[in-house]
Amino acid sequence: MMLAFSAVIFGLVLLVWSADRFVEGAASTARHFGMPSLLIGMVVVGFGTSAPEMVVSALASSQGNPGIALGNAYGSNITNIALILGVTALISPIVVHSQVLRRELPILVVVTALAAWQLWDGAITRLDAIVLLGVFAGLMAWTIWQGLRKSTDALGSEMEQELGVRAMPVNRALLWLVAGLALLIVSSRILVWGAVEIAHGFGVSDLIIGLTIVAVGTSLPELASSIIAARKGEHDIALGNILGSNLFNTLAVVGIAGAIHPLAVAPEVFTRDILVMAALTLSLFVLGYGFRGPGRINRIDGAVLLACYLGYTTYLISTVFGQPA
C-alpha cells in the first residue's frame, strides 16, 4: 500500500511538472513556426493546462477504469469552482465582467446540461463521445474566430506571460515538447496505477479516488495559474481559466475517454456528482451578478465556495467509511 501512495504522490508531482514543460515547449515551438500569440494563448496554453486531465482520463479509459476517467473529469470541475476559485477569491477578490455572465457562463451551463442528459442512460457511448468532441471543436472554432475579430495578439501575449510561458531556442522547445508529452504519459500511468491500487486496498470505488485524489492532483496547474493571475489583477484570466478548463473537461476529456472505450456510469455520478457540479456552476451567476455595481466574487464568497468543497469531500469520505465491511 505504501508503494501505491508513493506512486500517486510521485505521479502527481511528475504530472504537474511535465505538463508545465509541455506547455512551454509547445508554446515556444508554435511561436518559432509563426503561430500568432492569440492562438498560442487560447489553444496551446489552454490545451496544455488541461493536459493532465486529458491524459489521465484517456489512460484510465483504455485500462478499463471508467470511475477514474469520469471522476477525474467531473471531480476536476467541482475542484475548479469550489476549491480553486474559492482559494483564489480568498487571496484576491475577482471582478466578474458582464460579458462572462452573458456568454461564457451560459455556455458552461448548457454544456453541463448536455453532460447530465448523456448520463441519463448510465453510459457514455461512442456516439455520446463524438457529440461531445463535435461541440468542443465548434466552441473552439467560434472562440478563436471571436478572438481574431476583436483583438490583435495582445490578449494571447498576456495569457502567455501570466501563465509563465517563456521564449526559448527552437531545439530546446522541441526537446521539452517531446519530453513533456512522454513524461505526461509515464506519470499518468504511474498515477492511475497507484490510484487503482489504493482503491482496491481500501475497498472503495475507482470513482471516489478519481473525484478526490486524482481530480485535485490534475487541477494543480489551474490552481497555480489562477492564483498568479488573480494576484496580478488579471481577473479575466483567473476566471476564464476556470470556465475554460471546465468546458474542456466536460467536452474534450470525457469525449476522448468515451471515444477510446465506452464508459459505464455509476448511478451516483448522475444523482450526486453531476448535481453538485451543476449547482456550483449556477452559483457563479448568483455570486458574479452585481446587484449594486460590477459583479464580484469576494472573500466571503470564496469562503462559501471553499466550505462547499470541504463539505462535498467530507460527504464522499463518509460514504466510504459508512459502507458495510
| Chain segment 58-109, per-residue pLDDT in tens | 989 998 889 999 999 999 999 999 999 999 899 888 877 766 666 778 889 9
- Closest-CA residue to 163 (of 98, 107, 240, 247): 240
Higher pLDDT, 221 or 190: 190
pLDDT at position 165 is: 53
Tell me the average pLDDT across 147-174: 60
Q: What is the percent of the chain where pLDDT is above 70?
A: 82
The answer to whether the predicted template modeling score (pTM) of the entire model surpasses 0.85 is no
CATH assignment of the domain containing 40: 1.20.1420.30
DSSP 8-class letter at 164: T
Per-residue pLDDT reduced to its tens digit, 195-223: 888 877 878 888 898 898 888 888 877 78
Per-residue pLDDT reduced to its tens digit, 15-64: 878 877 777 777 777 677 766 555 555 566 667 667 788 888 998 999 88
Q: What are phi and psi of 124, to 5 degrees?
A: -105, 105
pLDDT at position 154 is: 47
pLDDT at position 37 is: 53
Q: Across 93-97, 148-152, 272-276, 285-289, which has the greatest mean pLDDT?
A: 272-276
Binned at pLDDT 50, 70 and 90, residue 155 comes out as: very low
How many Cα neighbours within 13 Å face the side chain of 65? Answer: 29
Q: Give me the number of domains the chain comprises.
A: 1
Q: What is the spatial distance between Cα 72 and Cα 210, in angstroms, rounded to a whole number?
A: 5
Binned at pLDDT 50, 70 and 90, residue 153 comes out as: very low
Q: Is the pLDDT of residue 325 over 80?
A: no
Query: Which residues span the domain enclosing 261?
Result: 2-321
